[in-house]
A and B are shown apart, each in its own frame.
Chain A
Amino acid sequence: MTGAEVRNFVIAIVLFALAALIPLTGSGYWLSIGVSIATFMVLSTSWALFSGPTHYISLATGAFYGIGMYVVGLGIEILPYPVLLLIAAVLGAVLAALVGLATLRLSGVYFVIFTLGLAELIRQLVNWGQTTQGSSSGLYVLTDISEPMIYWQLLGLGAIVYLLGWWINRSRLGFALRIIGNDEVVAVHSGINTASAKIILFVVSGTVATVTGALLAPRLSYIESSIAFSPMLSFLVVIMALLGGAHRLWGPIIGVVPFMLVWDLVTAKFPNQTTLVLGICFLLIVYAIPHGLAGLVEKYRARARGAF
């Protein structure tokens, strides 16, 4: 490890330790914001693991997340909670692998379209399954898992995602992905199996999103398909990751924190204009900060260095 890496590690550990202290303040407001931020930190960072280097925009986060919720909702009465998390992870991985196999061998557009409809497709299937089974449309999740527990679990998952991302970046797989992102033709010609590299990363990101959904299910206590498979979630994840900068591991988090704080205000003050705000954010990111806040930071850092 180089000196800079050791320094970054220490900074990351200190930040995580500080973040872990939030529930101890006893403030319900900050804890609930903390859970939202931790949720989107995990989701956006894992999203960027795949979409950052490859530039493939995945809109499937909501689908994975909803599956995680439903696994917990359906199984909470029968199986212990950790087993459910494991089942959720496996299911998420399998689904991601199948979607990846069907679409990632082709051009990126197919992938975007497919993932765009995936959450709605699974929602329809779940609804259909529930009506043919004759059960009610919602599920109760009654556990003794408290909100601080959820928060710490999310932080733990976040730590795993960061370690995983750091390791992937250093590995041959990460290198291969960066080449694919720069020029897929070059990647193919230098002997990279582009499809399998992309599928592996998509599986990682889908698994994390599924587990996140499973972790958050106890918080809701009542799950309905329209909540679990909310289409908004996937877009929020994309926006935050791009706002922060998807090309760096630490990028998404610097997008998540400010965005969630503002978003919380917007949803409270203007609940009917959220879509409009979301649209404006999308346009701002595309036209004003195409490389995200991380890109801005790097630009100014390079300029400052150039000045000396």
Chain B
Amino acid sequence: MEIIIGGILLGGTYALIAMGLQLQYGVARIMNLANGEILVAGSFAALWLFAGAQLSPVLSLIIVAPIAFVGNWLIYQYFLLPLVKRSKNQGQLEVDSILSTFGISFIFVGVMHAIFGGEYFNYEYLEIPFQVFEEPFALNRIIAFLGAAIAAACLYFWLNQTRSGLKLRAVSVNPDAANLVAINVNRASAMAFALGGAVTAGGGALISMFVTFDASIGVLFTMKALIIVILGGVKEIRGSIVAAFVLGLAETAVASLIDPGLTLASAFLLFILILLFRPQGLFGRQTS
């Protein structure tokens, strides 16, 4: 029981991490390998606001998310859009955007390292035990889980029920055809990329309440987000939420039953299984 609830809570965290990447890769077609660094930047921002201004990490979302939105918009406009225009095909864009976002991620790590140093950080906020089925769980984890649920619900509603969300889905299905029906593809992509960044940074602010982090930990989050997105199927937001829970449960089970040092191994095992048996993802549709 402890494993299941722990796994579900961890899965909620992972869903937060993966949703941002999902938007960026699914719509803007940018495999953003700096995603984990943006998350960690969000964590540092929350830490800084908490330590400096006593601002609750939950409230700091109001500041962190818009800044991340603008920042990611700028990254898209000035770094990634030139690559989109330059590349002749999807393969070329993938290679270029992978290298470019690697560069960006290293710059993020370098800058955060210069500002905060190489130590590990954590702080205590709402570490109050909270009873779920007679097992104690920290309240901050439950808040992060609720945050993930709210974010997922909003995104799902927005993408499926509104006109601007429909535009994004159209671009995600076929950018050329979307262009033909008078959708500004570059703007929709920038929008998706920036929104994805904002969700990611917001997730970082929430999970900073209970995760120990340092300047260079981002790549681990990137890894997990990528595995979740592929596990769930690249263009399915529901898929990645389910996949996040699968990964959360698997990792919690492995960590508590075998060895806590093997969490990445369990993620990889899932990854290999999905590559071998269902490369389009759990919810993805087969393409041609």
Contact = CB atoms under 8 A, between A and B. Distances in A.
Contact of A121 (B91, B219, B265): B265
B52 interface: no
A240 to B, nearest CB: 13
Contact of A279 (B104, B226, B275): B104
Interface stretch (B64-72, B105-113, B190-198): B105-113
Of the candidates B33, B103, B109, B267, the one having the most CB atoms from chain A within 10 angstroms of its own CB is B103
Nearest to B234: A109
B114 A272 contact: yes
Contact of B268 (A57, A121, A275, A277): A121
Contacts of B2: none
Interface string B263-280: 111011001100110010
Interface in B209-231: 216, 219-220, 222-223, 226-227, 230
A113 B98 CA distance: 10
Nearest to A51: B95
A242 B264 contact: no
Contacts of B222: 116
Nearest to B276: A102
A113 B219 contact: no
Nearest to B101: A282
A273 B109 CA distance: 10
A276 B110 contact: yes
Contacts of B92: 55
Given A102-B276, A113-B227, A114-B271, A286 B83 contact: yes
B102 A282 contact: yes
Given A108-B94, A276-B110, A282-B103, A127 B223 contact: no
B273 to A, nearest CB: 10
Given A272-B113, A276-B114, A286 B96 contact: yes
A44 interface: no
Interface string A273-304: 11111111111011100100000000000000
Among B96, B99, B219: residue with most chain A CB under 10 A? B99
B285 to A, nearest CB: 15
Contact of A113 (B102, B118, B216, B223): B223
Given A102-B276, A276-B111, A110 B106 contact: no
Contacts of A117: 223, 227, 264, 267-268
13 contacts: A103-B275, A109-B94, A113-B223, A120-B220, A235-B102, A275-B110, A276-B109, A276-B111, A279-B103, A279-B104, A282-B106, A283-B79, A286-B83
Interface of A: 55, 57, 102-103, 106, 108-110, 112-114, 116-117, 120-121, 124-125, 127-128, 131-132, 184, 231, 235, 238, 242, 272-283, 285-287, 290
